[in-house]
Amino acid sequence: MHQLTLAEIARGLADKKFSAEELTRTLLARIAQLDPQLNSFITVTPEHAIAQAQAADARRANGESGALLGVPLAHKDLFCTQGIRTSCGSKMLDNFQAPYDATVVAKLNAAGAVTLGKLNMDEFAMGSANENSHYGAVKNPWNLAHVPGGSSGGSAAAVAARLLPVATGTDTGGSIRQPAAFTNLTGIKPTYGRVSRWGMIAYASSLDQAGVLARNAEDCALLLQGMAGFDPQDSTSIDEPVPDYSATLGDSLQGLRIGVPKEYFGAGLDPRIAERVQASIEALEKLGAVIQPISLPNMQQAIAAYYVIAPAEASSNLSRFDGVRFGYRCENPKDLTDLYKRSRAEGFGPEVQRRIMVGAYALSAGYYDAYYLQAQKIRRLIKNDFMAAFEDVDMILSPTTPNPAWKLGAKNADPVAAYLEDIYTITANLAGLPGLSMPAGFVDGLPVGVQLLAPYFQEGRLLNAAHQYQQVTDWHTRAPEGF
């Protein structure tokens, strides 16, 4: 039963082949048996899950239907869940229970989804390897000595290991697409503003966006449908109708113009990944797509701009964790200043502290113009590059990552080496564009992803292209050995 995709589960539940409760119990047993190897969960909520599954079964018995009714899933541990710990992967929030549900959680609960628990992540979503979690590193089910990617590494490992059909994640600079690529999943980061950020613990508010990790595009479409939509509680949520993502999955790709940016194939890209990307281009061409070379000249500046803007916003967002209002408080503070200082020094891990310092520095009076303002200008240039490219093409294709998943610990001594791995994903966040990563083969037994980017609100186009590609390739159907 654990091999079923979300779409297959929805059909099985509708046809009464099994109940939500049966499925939930099966997956809970699998989590108990296999997750100790992976560490993908921070919190498992069996009683809560079984109660939700029974409620979903009762709703079905009363004649209700719906693709998510009774479907098991889990949330990255930065979506607030009422009455269930929301740790954000941090000691700072180890004892935090949100008084309300995030909009994403509330919407999925209302649709009848069954939450099995909260998934491991890099602390405050800062990282590309899921090694920055207070709860320990997550392992890649394809090779337990390797990282699963980050920061939604728990979501990726759990779905790839068939502990769950789908999971939520968030993507500030690649945290859905990169772990999807590292674990052979399909992951979509929607347009900024497509999914509500309300109740999502903020890292960098102008970049953060919630999305889906799943085994194929069809499942991404189903779960995204349940998450997307305007939310008056989030001032950056956009009031655009949500199209039926499943309805366009079958559309032909005949004549679809796909741009391939030459800057994404330069030095630093593993040639074996370039080969896999080339093969995916050929598969899409056979489906009728027309490939065009394009240029995104300011992409080389993206890492520098992102690693000013994201830490700047983080330094501001994380100032609320002061030992007074939320979470961790140090023992026996001498006075208020000591309470602030020690609560933050003891509650935040080293990468979070590094980012807060970088961000506060970039925003300080003497350096604001030199760093933050410059970074914002680069951000605009990057957006302009995309706007110009989308005059000529309908979609952009690139590798998702320059290298496959690295070994645990390999980049611990050199944070900048890890930052450089984000090169292909962060531009979409800087511009606010939707992006998807889909499986495209293997290098040394480790999965490789191909990234698709589309104009604003064209999530349906991305899902359609990935779905068509997945009708003629079978990479996405492969499961890691032992899972």
Of 306-325, binders to ligand GLN (CB under 6 A) are 310
Q: Per CB under 6 A, does 451 bind ligand GLN?
A: no
Of 242-301, binders to ligand GLN (CB under 6 A) are none
Per-residue contact flags (x/-) with ligand GLN for residues 403 to 432, judged by CB under 6 A: -------------------x----------
Q: Which is nearer to ligand GLN, 348 or 475 (CB)?
A: 348
Phi, psi of 338 (to 5 degrees): -65, -40
Q: Which is nearer to ligand GLN, 125 or 200 (CB)?
A: 125
How many positions of this chain bind ligand GLN (CB under 6 A)?
A: 13
Q: Per CB under 6 A, does 180 bind ligand GLN?
A: no
Q: Which is nearer to ligand GLN, 21 or 421 (CB)?
A: 421
Q: Per CB under 6 A, does 175 bind ligand GLN?
A: yes
Pairing of strands 435-443, 446-453: antiparallel
Q: Are 55 and 88 in contact (CB under 8 A)?
A: no
Catalytic residue, chosen from 175, 280, 315, 398, is: 175
Q: Are 228 and 195 in contact (CB under 8 A)?
A: yes
Instruction: Determine the Cα–Cα distance for residues 118 and 120; give it in Å rounded to an integer.
Output: 7
Residue 475: exposed, middle, or buried by beta-carbon count in 10 A (0-12, 13-18, 19+)? Answer: buried
Shortest Å distance, C-beta 133 to ligand GLN:
13
Shortest Å distance, C-beta 206 to ligand GLN:
13
Shortest Å distance, C-beta 245 to ligand GLN:
22
**Which whole-number Å values give the CA distances from 233 to 100, 239, 439, in the listed order?**
13, 12, 35
Catalytic residue, chosen from 90, 151, 237, 343, is: 151
Which residue in this structure is represented by tokens 């082949």?
A: 17
206 is an active site residue: no
Shortest Å distance, C-beta 382 to ligand GLN:
16
Q: Per CB under 6 A, does 172 bind ligand GLN?
A: yes
Q: Which is nearer to ligand GLN, 20 or 125 (CB)?
A: 125
Shortest Å distance, C-beta 462 to ligand GLN:
18
Of 89-128, binders to ligand GLN (CB under 6 A) are 125-128
**Which whole-number Å values give the CA distances from 105 to 102, 112, 161, 214, in the listed order?**
5, 11, 23, 17
Would you tell me the crossing angle of helices 459-472 and 271-286 to the nearest 10 degrees? Answer: 90
Q: Are 168 and 72 in contact (CB under 8 A)?
A: no
Contacts of 372 (CB under 8 A, 6+ apart): 308, 309, 312, 362, 363
343 is an active site residue: no
407 is an active site residue: no
Catalytic residue, chosen from 19, 40, 76, 411, is: 76
Q: Which residues pair with 443 in a beta bridge?
A: 446
Which residue in this structure is represented by tokens 């100790």?
A: 36
Shortest Å distance, C-beta 169 to ligand GLN:
9
Q: Which is nearer to ligand GLN, 219 or 422 (CB)?
A: 422
Shortest Å distance, C-beta 172 to ligand GLN:
4
Q: Which is nearer to ligand GLN, 365 or 416 (CB)?
A: 416
Of 375, 367, 481, nearest to 430 by C-alpha is 375
Within 10 angstroms of residue 16's Cβ, the number of other Cβ atoms is 10
Of 182, 188, 185, 157, nearest to 170 by C-alpha is 188
Q: Which is nearer to ligand GLN, 128 or 237 (CB)?
A: 128
Of 207-246, binders to ligand GLN (CB under 6 A) are none
Sites of contact with ligand GLN (CB under 6 A): 125-128, 151, 171-175, 203, 310, 422
| Residue numbers annotated as active site | 76, 151, 175
